[in-house]
Amino acid sequence: MTDIKALRRVFSSGELVKPGSEPGLTELMTSVAELIEVDTPVTTRSVIDLGAPADHVIFVLADGLGLEILDRYAPDGGWLKSHLKHDLLTVFPSTTPAGITTVASAVPPITHGINGWWVWLNSVNAPVTVFHNELAQTREPLTEFYEAEQELYSWESIFKASTKNISYVLPSDIVNSRFSHHAFPNGARIGYDRIKEVPQLIKEIVTRAGVNGFTYFYTTHPDSISHKKGLSHEVEDSIIELDEHLERIQSNLESLGVNYKIILTADHGHLEISPHLSLDTGSDLTHLLREPPFGDMRVHYWKVISGAEQTFVSLFQALYGEWFFIISSAEAIEMELFGSGGATVGSHFDIGDFVSIAKGSAALRFSGFPGHRSFFKMKSHHSGLTPSEMKIPLVIADA
């Protein structure tokens, strides 16, 4: 028997957040799509009011800036808190590949198919690491597997059809990545090395674009430092720095006299991790699997040998039941954990036979993927369903 009843109870109590129970990232991006005058393939249940149109829209995605972190560390009276409108829910899993793909496509994970750091592709019959564009186990590049790239990028970017003057301001190390190439088309992708460069870059972009402009700005503040240091004073420093640069961006726009709108949100929040659990390749549990597990640190997808399903559930509960729920993939889809509407034709959405979801602050990593040692150094993570991970801010500043 799975843990579906227990999962429903913690949704009811509020210990965990049920995806879709409040307006969220998918609805926000549907509304942003309206601002840039493009249609979206999925009709959402609700619309986020972003106010009147503007001559130039600046959309900021602050990786890892969950509502809880913003409340705790953003300066009182600063830019972020002064323009905070309300909270939203991110998509599940609450992880960057799923969240940014929803930002780029305006559809939920069940539709775009990116459901974790590692996703399953039928074309190679293996899990792949999305942002690295490579096979998860062997690290072979997907450029060697044409059908795999086609499968991974079967979703469409909303920016592709826009007639706006679009620019993307991205960290230099990802500005020309395969993912960025697909997610952020139809405009100039401009790289930066340090966040202090961004206000001037955006000022120059807006000056060139004039009216009918849209700029997407992505920052790793505070996600990268949160993983390394946990929710510490370094994270606070990172958010204060971001707050100051956002203030400078708005001040620059005011000086240009342009009718602007700045919209900021996040892809997920953060949660300090304890304990760090490991699943070894030779364990009794992996012997019940027909393929390696995939997903993320706090949500996992399991493909189980036919006939061994109940044995697997019982053994998983015995080994990891203190820290994780285990439910069937059918139960997860029925509860619309990955969004509503179902998978579209061509989508590679695959969550195996069972899904495990963290109860509290634990993380679990399969040792068969490269990078296992660095996992134990991480202080904070995400991809689960706690309010700390799921609740994200909506911040709007208008001319």
User: Is there a single domain that holds both residue 193 and residue 295?
Assistant: no
Q: Which CATH number do you get for residue 216? A: 3.40.720.10
Residue 19 forms part of a structural domain: no
Is pLDDT at 46 greater than 90 in this prediction? no
Q: Are residues 220 and 122 in the same domain?
A: yes
Phi, psi for 50 (deg, rounded to 5): -105, 5
**Domain assignment of residue 18, yes or no:** no
143 lies in the same domain as 225:
yes
Strand boundaries in 209-332, DSSP class E: 213-219, 260-265, 271-272, 276-279, 294-295, 299-302, 324-328
Whether the per-residue pLDDT at 380 is higher than 60: the answer is yes
pLDDT of 187 higher than 90: yes
- Max CA separation in the chain (angstroms): 68
Query: Do 174 and 234 share a domain, yes or no?
Result: yes
Q: What's the chain's average pLDDT?
A: 95
Pick 399 or 303 by higher pLDDT: 303
20 lies in some domain: no
Closest CA to 80 of 214, 233, 264: 264
Nearest of 282, 352, 359 to residue 317 by alpha carbon: 359
Range of 82's domain? 25-271+387-398
* Residues 368 and 256 occupy one common structural domain: no
Overall pTM > 0.85 = yes
Q: Helix, strand, coil proportions of the chain in percent (round to 5)?
A: 35, 25, 40
One domain for residues 260 and 311: no
Using CA atoms, how far apart are residues 246 and 360, in angstroms rounded to an integer? 33
- 110: pLDDT strictly greater than 60: yes
User: How many distinct structural domains can be found in the chain?
Assistant: 2
d(CA 100, CA 104): 6
What integer is the mean pLDDT of 134-145?
95
**Do 33 and 73 belong together in one domain?**
yes
Residues 185 and 299 occupy one common structural domain? no
What pLDDT is attached to residue 347? 60
pLDDT of residue 82: 98
Q: Are residues 106 and 226 in the same domain?
A: yes
Backbone angles phi, psi at 238, to 5 degrees: -65, -40
Instruction: Establish if 242 belongs to a structural domain.
Output: yes
Report which DSSP code applies to 18: P
